[in-house]
Amino acid sequence: MTVELRILLLLALFAVGFIARRLGWLKPPHAGRMLQLVITVGLPALFLADVSRIPLRLDLIALPASAMIIIIVSGAASLLVGRAMALQRPEQGAMTICAMSINNGFLFPFAIAVWGQVGFAQMALFDFGNALCQGSLVYAIAAAYGGHGTGFAAIARRVLSFPPLWALLVALLLNVSDVQLPSLLTTVLGTVGRWILMLVIIALGVLFDARLLGDRRVLATLALRIPLGLAVGYACVLIFDIEGLTRSVVLLGAAAPIGFSAVVIANRENLHRELAASAASISVLLALVFVPLALWLLPR
């Protein structure tokens, strides 16, 4: 199957989820269960199958480092923008965590379809930095703006309860220790993980919501996540002197849409849920346009 056909297949899966929601066949709770299956089974299986086998180079540390820099700069910028807009605390909290939430889950199916095993594995390393920030800094900010405590124990529990993070750590340990998983096992894990990963696109189609499309708070949040993220990502590429496929991974990850984890956290911490949900949904719609175009233009 050509790259173009693979991308069209992913777009078709999003349409399936969108239409199924409108026909009443699938509802948000179904999408939530799909995403939970991806988190608990799909991504861990793929990390163990692919990251454990790719050649690791010292310069690849720039991938998680770039993700963390993008998240921190975007969060700081959102605080300045929110202050200029005189936002209420729930609005400011929602804007900030959306600006800092990189939706690599959306990018993974595209990366594996176009770049294959190596591209997916490098995207997973980029997501390593993202996952560390989401489970610590982003959660702490959300809790602070929501009026809840941000003790070390609460943050640690959130980080340690994220299955893909554990799978990635195990895969990295296997890689650096030269321990090889049986080829049959990696084949099964890779196949199962890739099929389950397709559920991400269907789930996003089900969850898509374009409310508050013209709201200035939503537009500012989108600008903080995508254009600013891309600009910071490009700066990271220059600073770390990143080339080739790794350069493409950083640039694509930098411009990723808003993660739906931001919606979950906003709901949990009593932030502005509608702002977070609308910004995340619209960012996914935009990403369905620019991500396939970027994959076609970026080096493979």
Q: Find all residues with CB under 8 Å of 160, minimum gap 6, and list them.
A: 166
Q: Is 46 exposed, middle or buried (0-12, 13-18, 19+ CB in 10 A)?
A: buried
Q: Is the pTM of this model over 0.75?
A: yes
The pLDDT score that the predictor gives to residue 2 is: 63
The pLDDT score that the predictor gives to residue 50 is: 76
Q: Find all residues with CB under 8 Å of 120, minimum gap 6, and list them.
A: 46, 50, 108, 111, 112
**Could you tell me the residue ranges of all domains in the chain?**
3-294
| CATH architecture for segment(s) 3-294 | Up-down Bundle (1.20)
How far apart are the C-alpha atoms of 194 and 47, rounded to whole Å? 11
How far apart are the C-alpha atoms of 54 and 56, rounded to whole Å? 6
φ and ψ at 143, to 5 degrees? -65, -35
The pLDDT score that the predictor gives to residue 71 is: 97
- Per-chain mean pLDDT for the chain: 85
Percentages helix, strand, coil for the chain, rounded to the nearest 5?
A: 80, 0, 20
pLDDT mean for each 10 residues of the chain (300 residues): 70 89 90 84 84 73 94 97 94 95 87 86 87 79 74 67 80 82 89 86 79 83 96 96 92 91 78 85 87 80
Residue type, 125: L
